[in-house]
Structure 1
Amino acid sequence: MFIRGGNMRILFVFIASILMALGGLPQQTESAKILATLSMPGRSQYIFVENYLKALAARGHQVTVINPFKNNKATPNMRFIEATKVQEYAQEMLTEMDGSNMWQEFNGYTRLMEKINSCTLDDEAVQQLLKSGETFDVVLAEMIEAPPLYGLAQHFNATLVGFSSYGTDFRIDRIMGNISPVSYNPMIIAPRTDRMSFSERLTNHYEYLLEQVHRELVHLPAMERQYKKYFPRAQKTMDEVLDSFALVLLGQHFSVSYPRPYMPNMIEVGGLHIAHKPQPLPEDIKEFIEGAQHGVIYFSMGSNVKSKDLPQETRDTLLRTFGKLKQRVLWKFEDDQLPGKPANVLIKKWYPQPDILAHSNVKIFITHGGLLSTIESLYFGKPVLGLPVLYDQHNVERARRIGFGLGLDLHQLKQEELEAAIHKLLSEPSYAKASSQISERYRDQPQPSLERAIWWTEYIIRHQGAPHLRAASRDLNYIQLHSLDTLFVLVGVPLLIVGLLLKLSCRLLRGSKPKSCPFADKQKKQ
């Protein structure tokens, strides 16, 4: 049977179309074994990567998660190793960070990390895993200055990938070979932005140098002692492990932060935890929100700070203020009863926060100012009132400076100031406008953060760690990186030659005696 010319062309176009479609499909990645370590007692770090880990499992990867929580819900392709002992020290760990000066605070953080490392690596199930002979392709490590936990990658001969829920700082930048000048990169614990005055830059530089000194003299030696204890026959030194990160996922985005340079294997995935399609609210919460004629205020102190543990005086201030409002208040309160609760307040131990913030009748968000909560509020365009705790001051200060929020001191909270701040956020449209504009910029991305994180993770898997992404800067010492040696040659040698020529000229013009040289005479008179 013969095919006519016209039909032949149609068949050719049909086959070509199929081949082009197949060729345009994304490159497939073979199933990988992934080990994720989450050791902090607060849930916010796990919340940041929960959707990401589940998405990896849904794509066929075998995901093992070491975390300090009970996980009652089974997920296909996921298993959990529950190293829960750290929870026994959770409250004690918060007090470790208290100090009369920055050096004591840094010491407290080092003790905190020593406790977290030991609670995790001493766990019976973790020890069984270490001795099991099991292998992994990738170790996902939370970048919280815990090199003993990063050591799991060398133990399992796996590619090391990092993630940071707060974004990057000078320590992560140094590990990845990135340069982040302190002139416009504020310290992560500081209430400063990228636009700093001279005095702020001076303070920023001082704090940077102080933390650098503490890291080199105190923190890293303490971590190395633990590293050698738990990995006495390690294939790599701790310094080699720190230098082996193939990729880092950063819980930040320039639209809600500030523009800054990154290496190609430093990927912004701020909002990774946000479901882009809000889920339906539980019926009682939905009715409470939609029945509020003047709108709703949502109040939550996050997962690390429990509002039930706030001082009674602070709780009374909040109750009196909320009771005078026309708005209704959703309060995340970790107890069944709240004495003195006004009728316009609904308390629950847990709220589906992103789904609540997505509701149009929620007007403002009173928050501790954590990065995840801040990004959620901006994603859904809600102004914030920050009551910062620990390291959250910088997020609240940024909200104030950019214009989408206000901040108050939680430890010295006054009813008049709280009422005035709430009224200002509700009555002045500039705050809602600013948060709405940032939301619009943040949403304007070529792909959701979750898709970006998965693509880059699988890229690293497909290319066996992608060593071609490793910057040469990681192999240079400080002098080489900042070209101090070449500057010495380019500047110092010519100056030296000029000096020698001047000295020689003196000798030739005035004779061989040094005292006859005018330069020598001048020095002698002085």
Structure 2
Amino acid sequence: MLPVKLLLLLCFSTCSYAARILAVVFIPSLSHNLVFRPIYRELSLRGHQVVAVAPNPLNDSSLTNLTEIDVSYVYERNKNIQSTLNFDSYTDFWDNTFQWMMLSAEDILKDSRVQQLCEGGDKFDLVLLEALLPVFYAFGTKCDAPTVGMISMDGMLSTHTVQGNPIHPILFGDMLLSYHKPLSLMEKTWYVYYFIWYKWYYNYRVVPQCDSMVRKYLGQQLPPLEEIEANSSMAFINTNVVMNSIRPMSPTVVPMGFVQIRPPNPLSQDLQSVLDDAKQGAVYFSFGSNTQSSHCRLFIIVLRYHDRVCELKSIVEDQPMTGLERAVWWSEYVIRHRGARHLRSAVADVSLAEYLLLDVLAAALSVLLIAGIVSYKLARLVGKLTFCGCRRNKQKES
């Protein structure tokens, strides 16, 4: 019996693999960081050696497999810039947000501790990165490791495009747009304009700027950043089909909704007193760390609201695994298979013209045009021959 147990022990010890994982988070916002920290924390608890670059490090000495590079200094620039951002329209929002994010990303890339990652034969088996910008996908190439992009909300148009998710301006497009009701003609027109603008802005402004930044700090020898981003294995997005718009998704896009949810801590005494004294019940919520608390006080005393929340909670939680378990399982899946190219959608590798069948339409129109021209020429030729024949007959009769 002992040899069998020993054999099983050896098998499990051989099959289990402690990987080296690099996690890079760069947005100076606790709301964003709270989504990613449980993932690399859990991976470290599962025996993987994790190096995390983060503005909000865990600073937990009990996590012996976790090494953190504290980049909380990016908050200093954030204080000076965020108040000046212009969010008057969706296009202004993205323009200002991308420029702000690039400043945070560049601050981190300047850090000598970050630049030394993957130097001197130091390798990783997986790179997890915050994917609101394509900058940190470059560490996948530098470290010779598959990459998984993580987003603390729904994916952007660029995220869905890279992973091969179908995109349609008026059905399932960008996370900022609403698809919960029938759209008016004016709204459809605006959505199409926004779709075209975003594609142009991301491909011809954001990616080139990020490419220049990466080459400046990580080396000119890297391939084009557009190719590096397109090589990513997966994207983890913080969505749930119940709470977000339903859309077709490639197997390489993993919804990890509510990954940041954990058992609640006790409320402060004053807030607990307010809620306890509410005769008909109360709901208190915050808009996150990016909005000042003075702007987000909202109390709803409605029993119907409570019932609806309980109903949604029951639906949301009715799934085979939690968002955290799903994110961890797919992270280890990518490690085991050195990527996930076999799950890649064919849509990711076709151009927009091919996706919209414009090449087929052009070929069909060309055939019809050629057929029309040939028919027209033949008709003219037949008409001309007929006319000439009739004319000769008349001449003979006369």
Fold match (TM-score > 0.5): yes
Q: 1:212 to 1:287 in 2, by over 3 A?
A: closer
- Equivalent in the alignment of 1:436: 310
Q: Please say if 1:109 is aligned against 2:97.
A: yes
Identity %: 24
Deviation at 1:119, TM superposition (A): 0.9
- Equivalent in the alignment of 1:261: 248
Alignment check: 8 A CA contact 1:29 1:461 kept: no
Gap runs ≥5 in structure 2: 388-398
Q: Please say if 1:303 is aligned against 2:303.
A: no
Higher relative contact order (CA 8 A, sep 6+): 2
Among 145, 152, 155, the residue aligned to 1:158: 145
Among 67, 88, 91, the residue aligned to 2:79: 91
**Cα distance in 2 for residues equivalent to 1:201 and 1:304:** 30
Aligned AA (2:156): D
**Cα distance in 2 for residues equivalent to 1:221 and 1:149:** 14
Between 289-298 and 180-189, report the one with greater CA deviation.
289-298
List aligned pairs for 1:179-218, cutoff 5 A. Answer: 179-190=166-177, 193=180, 195-218=182-205
Aligned length: 378
Aligned AA (2:41): K
Between 225-234 and 186-195, report the one with greater CA deviation.
186-195
- Equivalent in the alignment of 2:238: 251
**Cα distance in 1 for residues equivalent to 2:95 and 2:306:** 41
Q: For residue 301 of structure 2, give the secondary structure of its aligned residue in structure 1.
A: helix
Q: Please say if 1:450 is aligned against 2:333.
A: no
**Cα distance in 2 for residues equivalent to 1:206 and 1:286:** 45
List aligned pairs for 1:47-446, cutoff 5 A. Answer: 47-74=34-61, 75-98=63-86, 103-129=91-117, 131=119, 133-145=121-133, 147-190=134-177, 193=180, 195-275=182-262, 278-279=263-264, 281=266, 284=269, 288=273, 291-292=276-277, 294=279, 295-307=281-293, 422=299, 425-427=300-302, 429=304, 431-446=305-320
Deviation at 1:290, TM superposition (A): 7.5
- Equivalent in the alignment of 1:508: 382
Alignment check: 8 A CA contact 1:96 1:108 kept: no
Aligned AA (1:112): W
Between 104-113 and 209-218, report the one with greater CA deviation.
104-113
CA deviation profile, 1:138-160 (whole Å, cap 9, x unmatched): 11011102x22221111111111
Deviation at 1:86, TM superposition (A): 0.9
- Equivalent in the alignment of 1:480: 354
**Cα distance in 2 for residues equivalent to 1:288 and 1:282:** 9
Deviation at 1:281, TM superposition (A): 2.6
Q: For residue 245 of structure 1, give the secondary structure of its aligned residue in structure 2.
A: coil
Deviation at 1:305, TM superposition (A): 2.2
Q: 1:100 to 1:262 in 2, by over 3 A?
A: closer
Alignment check: 8 A CA contact 2:146 2:233 kept: yes
Alignment check: 8 A CA contact 1:29 1:458 kept: no
Deviation at 1:508, TM superposition (A): 0.6
Alignment check: 8 A CA contact 2:154 2:175 kept: no
- Equivalent in the alignment of 2:344: 470
Aligned AA (2:332): E
Q: 1:257 to 1:135 in 2, by over 3 A?
A: same
- TM-score normalized by structure 2? 0.85
**Cα distance in 2 for residues equivalent to 1:465 and 1:169:** 22
Alignment check: 8 A CA contact 2:91 2:194 kept: no
Alignment check: 8 A CA contact 1:148 1:230 kept: no
- Equivalent in the alignment of 2:394: none
**Cα distance in 2 for residues equivalent to 1:132 and 1:224:** 24
Q: 1:126 to 1:132 in 2, by over 3 A?
A: farther
**Cα distance in 1 for residues equivalent to 2:99 and 2:142:** 24
- Equivalent in the alignment of 1:490: 364
Q: 1:224 to 1:512 in 2, by over 3 A?
A: farther
Aligned AA (1:151): A
Q: 1:490 to 1:225 in 2, by over 3 A?
A: same
Among 19, 39, 48, the residue aligned to 1:32: 19
Q: For residue 149 of structure 2, give the secondary structure of its aligned residue in structure 1.
A: strand
CA deviation profile, 1:466-512 (whole Å, cap 9, x unmatched): 22112223222233333222233234313421332133113212449
Alignment check: 8 A CA contact 2:215 2:222 kept: no
Q: Give me the CA root mean square deviation.
A: 3.1
Q: 1:114 to 1:448 in 2, by over 3 A?
A: closer
**Cα distance in 2 for residues equivalent to 1:93 and 1:111:** 10
**Cα distance in 1 for residues equivalent to 2:124 and 2:218:** 17
**Cα distance in 2 for residues equivalent to 1:177 and 1:480:** 13
Deviation at 1:170, TM superposition (A): 1.6
Q: 1:195 to 1:77 in 2, by over 3 A?
A: farther
Q: 1:31 to 1:452 in 2, by over 3 A?
A: same
Aligned AA (1:175): V
Alignment check: 8 A CA contact 2:166 2:347 kept: no
- TM-score normalized by structure 1? 0.65
Q: 1:114 to 1:169 in 2, by over 3 A?
A: closer
